[in-house]
Structure 1
Amino acid sequence: MTADVDEWDGILNPGEKVLWQGRPDPGVTIAPASIVTLIFGLFFAGFALLWMILAATAGGAFWMFGLIHFSVGLGIAFGGIFWEPWKRRHTWYTLTDSRAFIARDLPFLGRSLKSYPITGQTRLELRDGTPGSVMFDHEMRRRKNGHYRVDIGFERIAEAGEVMRLMRQVQERESA
């Protein structure tokens, strides 16, 4: 798949060519971690709902303070399941003969375009699945008690094997 040259004007280096473009599968997936988050969020929301019911029996509008906690509980419960698919629906991937691009246009967060050079030292990882993924970089993110690793790549793409082959060809050209 090739791209219109005009839309890449000023982004690609002179002579750089687009080899592949695609988008991730936006389907919902449920992992064990998201099930734990779902259960915790539902308990949190359930407790808030129970508190609101008991507070409403006392009369007045005091029960409405529980709406914040109820909403947070629902956000925790369902955000973990639906955030990633929503993010994938706003993501585009491009592979050139020297770099990989990940573009996102997320409402409220704005547009971003990140490029990752593909060199002979780039560690490529093909993750089998339906659909598969090709990982090519990572970043370390901070949390309260340390750091954790987040892998970066073309996630949940139907042509993962073909993209991996193209990336290996880019590596071979870079090494030569």
Structure 2
Amino acid sequence: MIDPAGAVPPLDISGETLLWQGRPNCSPSLHPRPPASVIFFDILLIALLAGPGLWAMWNFDPGALWLKLLILAFLFALLLSGLNGIGGYALTRAWIRRYTRYFLTNKQAVIYIDAPLLPVRIESHPITALTPLILDDRPPGSVWFATHTHRFGDEISRTVIGTTPYGFDRIPDAREVYKRMRSLQTEAS
């Protein structure tokens, strides 16, 4: 599944052999999904503010059309904010996956993201005997080999709020890639 010559972006893989390259499935997915607390908060925010807002809008004097339009605009912005918190994560990740390519060489796994409006991001992860490999076999499968730590706070008091698995996400031939990465690990040890 290696593209013809010239299709590989400029990567620093001199002295390495390109074993596999692929692209993720671009359909929206809630895996890994945002925390349930975020979804619950957004639904609660919509319910608590939209109900009284609609009641107040219809019970104002009919002559105050500008006030009704202002309240309606505020409720619309609130609804969009809540829907973004619930489903925007899945749509944003799908959009980024559309511009993502994965490469596996005999020494490293490379994730190349070239999405419009974002800087080009090339992440390289060496494949050693100590690299934790996790196969997520749900279709389409994923091979996780790193984690991203999410932190909250300023530069002095940064609190860890969680980690997310990271790697070749939503690829159709995940089991084959996992076997190749395992064989690289046995060769490295």
Task: With the length of structure 2 as denominator, give the TM-score of the two structures.
Answer: 0.75
Spell out the pairing of 1:1-176 with structure 2 (5 A cutoff).
Answer: 1-4=1-4, 6=6, 8=8, 11-30=11-30, 36=36, 40-50=41-51, 51=53, 54-55=56-57, 57-58=60-61, 59=64, 60-61=66-67, 62-63=70-71, 64-144=73-153, 145-175=159-189
Q: Which moves more between the two structures, 29-38 or 44-53?
A: 29-38
Deviations, residues 101-153 of structure 1 (Å, cap 9, x unaligned): 11123333232111111112211111221121111112322035533212111
Distance 1:65 1:161, change over 3 A: closer
Aligned residues, how many?
175
Distance apart, 1:49 and its partner CA:
4.0
SS of 1:106's partner is coil
Deviations, residues 76-123 of structure 1 (Å, cap 9, x unaligned): 132134333233222211111111111123333232111111112211
Provide the alpha-carbon RMSD of the alignment.
2.9
Q: Structure 1: any 5+ residue segments left out of the alignment?
A: none
Q: Which moves more between the two structures, 111-120 or 3-12?
A: 3-12
Distance apart, 1:40 and its partner CA:
4.5
Task: With the length of structure 1 as denominator, give the TM-score of the two structures.
Answer: 0.79
Distance apart, 1:28 and its partner CA:
3.1
Counterparts of 1:32 and 1:20 in 2: how far apart (Å)? 24
Q: Which moves more between the two structures, 152-161 or 71-80?
A: 71-80
Q: Structure 2: any 5+ residue segments left out of the alignment?
A: 154-158
Percent same amino acid among aligned pairs?
A: 30
SS of 2:120's partner is strand
One-letter amino acid of the counterpart of residue 2, structure 2: T
Distance 1:12 1:38, change over 3 A: same
- Is the CA contact (8 Å cut-off) linking 1:134 and 1:160 kept in structure 2? yes
Distance 1:128 1:8, change over 3 A: closer
One-letter amino acid of the counterpart of residue 21, structure 1: Q
- Is the CA contact (8 Å cut-off) linking 2:145 and 2:167 kept in structure 1? yes
